[in-house]
Amino acid sequence: MKISFTLIILSLLGTNLLAQDAEKIHFKSIVVDTHGDILYNQIQSGIDIGKLQATGNFDLPRAKKGGLDVQVFSIWCDEKGGFNMANRQIDSLYSLINRYPDRIQLVTNASQLTNAVKQQKLAALIGVEGGHMIENDLGKLEALAKRGMIYLTLTWNNSTPWASSAAQESKGEVAMPGLSDFGKSVVRKLNELGVLVDLSHVGEQTFYDAIQLSSKPVLVSHSCVYGINPVPRNLKDAQIKAVGKNGGVISINFYSGFLDPTFSAKQQNFLIKHKPELKELTDKYGRSKAIDTLIALHKEEADESRPKIERIIDHIDYVVKLIGVDHVGIGADFDGAESFPQGMDSVADYPKITAALLKRGYSDADVQKIMGGNFVRLLRENKGL
């Protein structure tokens, strides 16, 4: 009994020391999330994300609690929106910064980023998710860059006249997959401006056209591994290797449907079970908000379909084993999806990723690269500052 009790005490002490080490390493690291769909929601709802919110995945208080140092705010709209909607969202970020200048700062390069972190401010960057927002106009691309855009995702789910998306290219819905001549001029202009070429969402032919053309390392801001979960939005092994050869970074998406191959079937069963309620909510709110509301109403049941946090680490491991630890980061897609792994409910939960990486056997230095160091390097190599 004494031996058993001693072992229990030693085990508890070891667990406590590991937790303390994880917290220390986490808050010493520059923690970067390369993709958060926060601004569109802020415009639609009118909430003030400078204050603690009961809903959603991001606000400044929870970012501070989670040790988040750098947030790339995604500028998103569907194919019906464009340049004006992009600017409305940038305006909303500027407004947030003006309200809380002691807590958040707009940055456009690595030097500004590190200075903001030293001042204990959240470094805010702008990523435009979807080439349709430049409206086939390089002048509008330059205008967005002047307002702070640090990356352009060449497509969202919709293709543009000059680039095919994964969603449409994979279904054979694009007559001429890949980049057109104008699309190639977009990539060249991004390189010239020091704006990162983001290859999340793009079709395979667009991916290869862009990565072969780009003179600078690329970003994949919020994608996962096809070898673990074969969905069109995830990267195949050859694509992952191409990013490694290019010197780029793949930021792993936290969306359950990209992480876990069993999630979609589980979620579908959940929705079928609550079909009448879902229809009523859809009639009232629309499909997307209806699903979010249904999940909130039946949280414990919905949680059963969510993968464990370790699934995020599985995708990180896969990339690291293929191309090395210098080419992976995190791009959670918070506020842009309806389901994330168990325990990953907001930006306040980022310390759990650090703890899971350490538990998996990553060194302190490797954890710091994954949690943000790799992205800072990438930004510097594109901007030169």
Asked if residues 62 and 23 have their Cβ atoms less than 8 Å apart, the reply is no
Task: Give 114's pLDDT tier (boundaries 50, 70, 90).
Answer: very high
Tokens of 26: 């986490």
80: helix, coil or strand? coil
pLDDT for res 10: 47
Judged against a pLDDT cut of 90, whether residue 200 lies above it is answered with yes
Longest dimension (CA), the chain: 76
Asked if residues 247 and 381 have their Cβ atoms less than 8 Å apart, the reply is yes
Judged against a pLDDT cut of 80, whether residue 234 lies above it is answered with yes
Mean pLDDT of 239-263: 97
User: What are the extents of the domains in the chain?
Assistant: 18-261+308-383, 263-306
Judged against a pLDDT cut of 70, whether residue 13 lies above it is answered with no
Contacts 24+ apart (CB under 8 A), 5-9: none
Contacts 24+ apart (CB under 8 A), 168-177: 168/203, 169/203, 169/204, 169/205, 169/206, 169/232, 170/203, 170/204, 170/232, 174/203, 177/203, 177/204, 177/205, 177/206
DSSP annotation string for 84-105: HHHHHHHHHHHHHHHH-TTTEE
Question: How crowded is residue 71: how many other Cβ atoms within 10 Å of its Cβ?
Answer: 26
The torsion of the CA quartet 28, 30, 31, 32, rounded to 10 degrees, works out to 180
CA–CA distance, 271 with 118 (Å, rounded to integer): 46
Q: Is 360 exposed, middle or buried (0-12, 13-18, 19+ CB in 10 A)?
A: middle
**pLDDT averaged over every residue in the chain:** 93
Vertex 218: Cα angle to 94 and 213 (nearest 5): 120
Among 1.10.3430.10, 3.20.20.140, 1.20.1090.10, 1.20.1260.10, name the CATH number for the domain at 18-261+308-383.
3.20.20.140
pLDDT digit string (tens) for 253-279?
Answer: 999 999 999 999 998 899 999 999 999
pLDDT for res 8: 53
Judged against a pLDDT cut of 80, whether residue 304 lies above it is answered with yes
